[in-house]
Amino acid sequence: MSSIIQLLPDHVANQIAAGEVVQRPASVVKELMENAIDAGATDIKLICKDAGKTLIQVIDNGKGMSVTDARLCFERHATSKIRKAEDLFDLHTKGFRGEALASIAAIAHVELKTKQEQEELGTHLIIEGSKFTSQEPAVLAKGTSFSVKNLFFNIPARRNFLKSDTVELKHVIDEFQRVAMAHPNIHFSLYHNGSETFNLPQSNLRQRVVNIFSGKTNEKLVPVQETTEIVEINGFIGKPEFAKKNRGEQFFFVNDRFIKSGYLHHAIMAAYEGLLKDGAQPSYFLYLQVPPHTIDINIHPTKTEIKFDDEHALYAILRSAVKHSLGQFNVAPVLDFERDATLDTPYDFQGKEAEFPTIQVDSTFNPFAEEKKPSFSSGGGSSSSFSFKPKKEVQPHWESLYVGLKESFEPEPDEPHEMQFESDVVTSSLFNDTEVEQSKTATYQIHKKYIVSPIKSGMLIIDQQRAHQRVLYEQFLTNITIHQASSQQLLFPLTFYFSGNEMALINELIPSLENTGFVFDAINPDSVVISGLPVTVSESEASIVLEQLISDLQDEIPESSFSQMDSMAKSMARSLAVKTGTYLTEKEQENLVNNLFACKENSVSPFNKPTFITLSVEDLDKKFSV
């Protein structure tokens, strides 16, 4: 019988290996940037087109390659970084597998320009789908430039598998940031579709973090420093009050390599115990240096997971170092010797004299008087944002649900309303469109959670939070997709700071946000200035709404623009809906019920949970017949 086993041709083997190394444009970005760092570059420029699908170019000023190496580097298992198996246990470079360039060249059009410092001429070489198509000497500056074009041009299935540009760009930026954060002593820049997205000059660690995550970050950071025999820890943690809703600002670096570790994350969370609200995520940027022989980087092909020799000790040291910093920060001002003075003053206070604080008292204020508008009318602005709010339980956004209705003081919830509730004046009006408007629907709130309302056949029990989510969701969705909502003008514009990644998302959402009533005065690289808000959003809620929105959309960036609008409406409805535990006046209850039944789909919340149940008279009769 003839043998059937054959060795695969190199280009096929490379394509298969590429499946492991290159999942998406961001994988190429990581490999090329790491090679540039290993080559000793001090200036690394990343240029992308169409989120890297059309072009990824990395230009460095590192040591370059000789003519022979320029060709050899595309061979599989061709590396200058290790020579023997033992070297694997003493790694000082990012790369060592020698398969990245071979893999990339198998699935893209690659152009390499490289020159060593001592050489007169460099090499210009083109390789497409593992085939060299040209190689010639060229006049070049010292360093290397790799251009990777048309990724997956020869594997249409993989190309089709790529996500939208928004999603792929987010991955590219994530990768860029991780590499840049690990090497503050290198100048990095990123250009996408012709515009500069990041420009990070050489700096110290703190400045690098601040440059990536917006100027506001500086106030949030507390330094962490610990040196022991098995690990040296440096970096920063975020003050508890700045904790975020998502895990977008959590970074571990081990020997200058970004890693993921659920176990070490747990150590940090343990240190923050008792300091965070439920579900809040602290920021951390922590750099661990360990002896290279005590870790194994080899266990993961993309090398973001590593194995430590002594994980338990590391856990304990990390937890106590973080705890120590938090403690220091709570009891004493933190001395930070690495601090850059230019980052310290967010406002231009220099040369200004301090003013004595003054307290303004409205002597005409009488809490028992009828509601009236405050005397300082907002010049030209809508009065709703400044309306007088006598009851603090009433959420500001809540009022806008029934703008125009006269508000009056309501008795406290404990005072009995039962008589009114049990009357049958308004039975069935909920399901009769014409009657809903004028009728005085009797409603009753129980446990600051449910609204009970009698109907002809029995009664409705409505979940106030879910019902309001439904009402707001439909309102926002209509605003976003169909027409612009009106906005309330702010007397003083609000500035919110965001990281580069968050700004990229905000930029994309701006048209939809404007439709809901947000008015943007300025859109800067690291902040937005807002001069108008949707009528349903109060000033104090604006930052919560935006942060929640970013967090929701970052976790799962929607594919189509419709689903993006839908996710936006859901997110805003979730942040703004009246919560369980909020007392509602009778008017508020009534309006909620009416608004709910005016919705297109009133039986479920936007998150598919029932908004109300009915209890029929028969059900009640059955219960009493025992």
* Residue numbers at the binding site for Mg ion (CB under 5 A): 35, 95, 100
Residue 462 in contact with residue 596, Cβ under 8 Å? yes
Measure the CA angle with vertex 218, ends 247 and 529; round to 5°: 85
| Residue whose C-beta lies closest to Mg ion | 95
Residue of 324, 573, 587, 542 lying closest to 471 (CA atoms): 573
* CB contact at 8 A, 303 and 297: yes
Question: 36 or 182, CB closer to ligand ADP?
Answer: 36
Instruction: Quickly count: other Cβ atoms within 10 Å of residue 348's Cβ.
Output: 7
State the nearest-atom distance from the C-beta of 116 to ligand ADP, in Å.
9
111 is an interface residue for ligand ADP by CB under 6 A: no
CB under 6 A: which stretch of 60-68, 185-193, 214-222, 406-414 binds ligand ADP?
60-68
Q: Tokens 């893999």: give the residue.
A: 103
**Nearest approach, Cβ of residue 94 and ligand ADP (Å):** 7
98 lies in the site for ligand ADP, by CB under 6 A: yes
Instruction: Output Rg (C-alpha) for the chain, integer angstroms.
Output: 31
Q: CB of 27: closest distance to Mg ion in angstroms?
A: 11
CA distance 492 to 539: 10
E strand spans, 24-142: 43-49, 55-60, 109-115, 122-128, 131-138
Beta-bridge partners for 570: none
Which of ligand ADP, Mg ion, none sits in contact with 96, Cβ below 5 to 8 A by type? ligand ADP
Element containing residue 534 per DSSP (H, E): strand 527-534
Which listed range, 73-81, 271-279, 321-329, 594-602, lies at the site for ligand ADP (CB under 6 A)?
73-81
Pull the structure tokens for residue 522. 């300025």
Query: Is residue 128 involved in binding ligand ADP (CB under 6 A)?
Result: no
Q: Is 97 in the site for ligand ADP (CB under 6 A)?
A: yes
State both tokens at 271: 């240190």
For residue 91, the minimal CB distance to ligand ADP (Å) is: 10
Minimum Å distance from CB 70 to ligand ADP?
Answer: 9
- Contact region with ligand ADP (CB under 6 A), list: 34-42, 174-182, 380-388, 509-517: 34-42
**Residue 69 and residue 66: Cα distance in Å, rounded?**
5
Contact flag: residue 31 with ligand ADP (CB under 6 A): yes
Q: Which of 550, 547, 545, 548 is nearest to 533 (CA)?
A: 545
**Interstrand relation of 284-289 and 250-254 (parallel, antiparallel or unpaired):** parallel
The binder of 62, among Mg ion, ligand ADP, none, by C-beta within 5 to 8 A per type, is: ligand ADP
Among 25, 95, 282, 606, binds ligand ADP (CB under 6 A): 95
**Least distance to ligand ADP, CB of residue 178, Å:** 17
Instruction: Give 140-143's long-range contacts (Cβ < 8 A, gap of 24+).
Output: 140/113, 140/114, 140/115, 141/61, 141/115, 142/61, 142/64, 142/115, 142/116, 142/117, 143/39, 143/41, 143/59, 143/60, 143/61, 143/62, 143/63, 143/64, 143/114, 143/115
Q: Is 113 in the site for ligand ADP (CB under 6 A)?
A: no
**Could you say whether residue 454 binds ligand ADP (CB under 6 A)?**
no
For the chain, the farthest-separated pair of C-alpha atoms sits apart, in whole angstroms, at: 106
CA distance 144 to 86: 29
Cα 239 to Cα 20: distance, rounded to the nearest angstrom: 39
Span from 31-39, 173-181, 216-224, 618-626 in contact with ligand ADP (CB under 6 A) = 31-39
Q: Identify the residue among 61, 123, 130, 144 touching ligand ADP (CB under 6 A).
A: 144
568 binds, among ligand ADP, Mg ion, none (CB under 5 to 8 A by kind): none
Rounded least distance, CB 197 to ligand ADP, Å: 21
Under 8 Å between Cβ of 156 and 11? no
Least distance in angstroms from the C-beta of 141 to ligand ADP: 13
User: For residue 294, what is the DSSP state?
Assistant: G
| Residue 437 to residue 512: CA distance in whole angstroms | 31
223 binds ligand ADP (CB under 6 A): no
**CA angle (603, 608, 614) in 5-degree steps:** 30
Which of 68/195 has CB closer to ligand ADP?
Answer: 68
Can you read off the two tokens belonging to residue 398? 């809540």
* Listed ranges 79-87, 323-331, 368-376, 558-566: which one lies at the site for ligand ADP (CB under 6 A): 79-87
Stretch that binds ligand ADP, among 57-65, 211-219, 319-327, 425-433 (CB under 6 A): 57-65
Identify which of residues 60 and 168 has a Cβ nearer to ligand ADP in the complex: 60
Residue nearest to ligand ADP (CB): 95
Q: How far is the CB of 29 from ligand ADP (least distance, A)?
A: 13
Q: Which helix (H) or strand (E) holds 469?
A: helix 464-481
186 counts as binding ligand ADP under rule CB under 6 A: no
39 interacts with ligand ADP by CB under 6 A: yes
Q: How many residues make contact with ligand ADP (CB under 6 A)?
A: 22
73 near ligand ADP, rule: CB under 6 A: yes
Q: Alpha helix (H) ranges present in 63-213? A: 67-72, 100-106, 156-161, 165-182, 205-212
Question: Rule CB under 6 A: which residues touch ligand ADP?
Answer: 31, 35-36, 39, 60, 62-65, 73, 78-81, 95-101, 144
